[in-house]
Structure 1
Amino acid sequence: MVECVGWAEAAVFIYYAVDMGVTIGPNGPCPTYSPLVYHPQRRYEAWRYVSYALIHSGWVHLVNNLAVQVFFGILLEMVHRWWRVMVVYMSGVAAGALAHSIFTPTAFLAGASGGVYAVEYAHLGNLLMNWPEMEMPWLQLFVLLLLIGLDFGYAIWDTYFALEPSNTGHMAHFGGAVAGVLVGVVVLRNLQKETWERYCWWFSLVLFLLVISAGVMLNVFLPVPGFFPEDVH
């Protein structure tokens, strides 16, 4: 199913590339006029909190997201079935938009990174719940932690130390990652259930619902930005 989502993202990218009538570079432009993109002054259009994942700013943005979501998504689908992975993916998309809208409320948001990070970080939840049943779990954990460390390091450098910071929506990545771990614990298959895992399941479910509820409430009551912001992908 992640492949089908990828085809949809590619189709939308091609449509807007033709519609804008310009040459699409590695980093843009982004069709911020699209009714699909997250628009900070149109937060009442609730579909944008999900549909923004179909819009990408440049072909590098698209190709990177496609490669990561297909790789990590297929690995999960082989064991946990496609619908479980889609629940994780869509939870990450929504959580990414909520986190972005709260912490960077004046910026547009485009790209599937929230869902991509959810699928990637869901592997942590899978390891937590199925550690004894996994093949070489320590190696898998090492690879995941290495990728996470590199990504967080880049986000910190890009945000606080880069001479020319990018327009990357790091908070959307963070929101997707949190959703991936929590929803991964809840939705992915638990191959051999233990008593402590039941508590972990309930804790993850309640925490995710609380986080999402808080995000929705903050979006309802936070003031709408009063100026035209930059695009962030």
Structure 2
Amino acid sequence: MSNIHTYADLPSSDDETSTPFLASHYTNPSSHGSSPPEDSFWSLNIHPSHYQPIHFLFTLLGCPCFIGPPFSRTRLKDYLRLLVTFLFYVSIADIIMFIVELAFCGVKMRLYVIPAPRDTNALIGMGAKVASKVRDGQLWRLIVPVFMHAGVIHLIFNMLVQLSFGLGFERHWGILRMIPIYLIGGVAGNLVSCVTAPMSVSVGASGALLALFGAKFANVICRFASLKPEERMMSLFSLSFIFFFSCMFSFSESVDLGAHTGGFFMGLLLGMILFANHVKNRALRTVSIVGGAVGVFLFFTSFGLLVGFGVGWR
């Protein structure tokens, strides 16, 4: 979420099957006792003995074509699976919306070469978050800004996070969990932003993206007791990395911290509900579901009332 304005201010082969190594090791790496990182959307696509730290970096950055042959059967299956993911189409919608923004708002150049929307009033007309208008009943301003961005860098960065982290989450969680976490998390982030930054005009998917990180925390917590020791270590490493990344992401200049915080905690609450099936103890499972549901209700009730009464507005 970005505040954009304030009122106060291995060799390849044409035929995989012609080489036994390519046919067996690229197409089914898991059969050799190795698999891609837990949160990776992309298959390993190389023999496990050739997997290097740089490959993990490529996976993390959403650059799978650099890992093994880009047109192997394994990779082609990845591309086909990509076409049925929610976040793939969200990313397309983000790009289309940004082109529309430039068309309707005009173009200004940041740092001489980076295009961004010029007319803030036009952005408001397109649906940017404005607390006073949300208070007047324009509730669609809580969801539309999730698909809008303040500039090319803002768009690219959010899409990088969305496609590198988000796709992996969606692969393991399923689309029926991803959709509510992403959309409700985005709405929650904008709702909190109306309270913490009521004089700002904000756009961006950051609240929704932080909701994914919050849900990941809940996912690990719910599964922790059933994980093997080495899986627990990897999960703790993953959570530590996400925590560091989220902090770095949230305290940057021109970032809507309220939207990030709201999105993260909503993702955590939704995760308590959606991943409760991983909790082995029945009583704890019930606590997770009920606690998450009550938390979601209190969240929207309290922040909805704060916006309705204009608490903290000047």
- How high is the TM-score relative to the length of structure 2? 0.63
| Aligned residue identity for 1:99 | V
Q: Where in structure 1 are there 5+ consecutive unaligned residues? A: 159-165, 227-233
Q: Could you say which residue in structure 2 is the equivalent of 1:49? A: 142
| Aligned residue identity for 1:179 | M
Aligned equivalents of 1:36, 1:143: Cα separation in 2: 35
Do structure 1's residue 59 and structure 2's residue 147 form an aligned pair?
no
Equivalences for residues 118-137 of structure 1 within 5 A: 118-134=211-227, 136-137=231-232
- State the identity as a percent: 22
| C-alpha RMSD of matched pairs (Å) | 2.4
Please say if residues 85 and 188 of structure 1, whose CA atoms lie closer than 8 Å, have aligned partners that are also in contact. no
Cα distance, 1:223–1:178 mapped onto 2, change above 3 Å: closer
Cα distance, 1:154–1:79 mapped onto 2, change above 3 Å: closer
Q: Could you say which residue in structure 2 is the equivalent of 1:40? A: 131
Q: Which has the higher contact order (CA 8 A, sep 6+)?
A: 1
Q: Could you say which residue in structure 2 is the equivalent of 1:105? A: 198
Equivalences for residues 1-233 of structure 1 within 5 A: 1-23=86-108, 25=110, 26=114, 28-29=116-117, 31=120, 32-43=123-134, 44-134=137-227, 136-152=231-247, 155=250, 158=252, 166-188=253-275, 190-191=277-278, 193-195=280-282, 196-222=284-310
Please say if residues 107 and 115 of structure 2, whose CA atoms lie closer than 8 Å, have aligned partners that are also in contact. no
Please say if residues 40 and 224 of structure 1, whose CA atoms lie closer than 8 Å, have aligned partners that are also in contact. no
Deviations 1:65-117 (A, max 9, x none): 11212222222222322021110011111110111111111111100111111
Please say if residues 124 and 201 of structure 2, whose CA atoms lie closer than 8 Å, have aligned partners that are also in contact. no
| Aligned residue identity for 1:167 | S
Aligned equivalents of 1:22, 1:35: Cα separation in 2: 15
- How high is the TM-score relative to the length of structure 1? 0.83
Deviations 1:1-44 (A, max 9, x none): 01111110110001111223324544844653333211223112
| Aligned residue identity for 2:300 | I
- From the two aligned structures, give the one with the greater strand fraction: 2
CA drift at 1:171:
0.9
Please say if residues 146 and 204 of structure 2, whose CA atoms lie closer than 8 Å, have aligned partners that are also in contact. yes
Q: Could you say which residue in structure 1 is the equivalent of 2:14? A: none
| Structure (1 or 2) with the larger CA radius of gyration | 2
4+ residue segments displaced more than 3 Å: 23-31, 132-135, 153-156, 223-226
Please say if residues 186 and 206 of structure 2, whose CA atoms lie closer than 8 Å, have aligned partners that are also in contact. yes
Cα distance, 1:191–1:147 mapped onto 2, change above 3 Å: closer
